């Protein structure tokens, strides 16, 4: 059992690092963060990549469906609140902070592994809500069988 948890943590870290590297090498626009914001923007980017990968793969790798479901609902709620406040194309507060740190357009999506796969490879533009809905349904399916 401990070996499986260790293996899943390693997979999660590898996926998060791949997402971070994709965002910084393949998808970063020509505009780069200035030197004063570079370290802070890299920290924000890495934390955002880890959070994004947890939202996407957390219940698959770690289970804990109720905890994961709560994280999903909090994420969706924050997207809703951020869209109500400034009505921008980007719905995530961390993406907005990152874009400001790096001088990117405020409407720029965060270019993580999900963006690369869905937008660049598959050509699906607005994938976030559909992906979250699938993950919510997956969690609810498992939560149902835990309690019933």
Dihedral Cα 77, 83, 86, 91, nearest 10 deg: 90
**pTM, whole model, 2 decimals?**
0.82
Residue 76, pLDDT score: 85
pLDDT averaged over 10-residue windows placed end to end, the chain, 148 residues: 87 93 71 69 89 92 92 87 62 82 79 84 79 90 86
């Amino acid at each position: 059992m401990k070996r499986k948890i260790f293996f899943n943590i390693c997979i999660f870290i590898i996926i998060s690092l791949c997402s971070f590297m994709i965002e910084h090498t393949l998808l970063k626009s020509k505009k780069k963060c200035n030197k004063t914001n570079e370290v802070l923007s890299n920290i924000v980017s890495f934390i955002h990549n880890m959070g994004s990968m947890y939202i996407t793969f957390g219940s698959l790798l770690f289970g804990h469906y109720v905890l994961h479901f709560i994280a999903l609902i909090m994420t969706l709620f924050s997207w809703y609140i951020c869209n109500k406040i400034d009505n921008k194309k980007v719905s995530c507060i961390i993406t907005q902070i990152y874009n400001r740190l790096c001088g990117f357009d405020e409407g720029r999506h965060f270019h993580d592994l999900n963006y690369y796969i869905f937008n660049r490879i598959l050509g699906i533009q607005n994938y976030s809500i559909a992906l979250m809905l699938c993950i919510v349904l997956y969690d609810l399916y498992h939560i149902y069988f835990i309690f019933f």
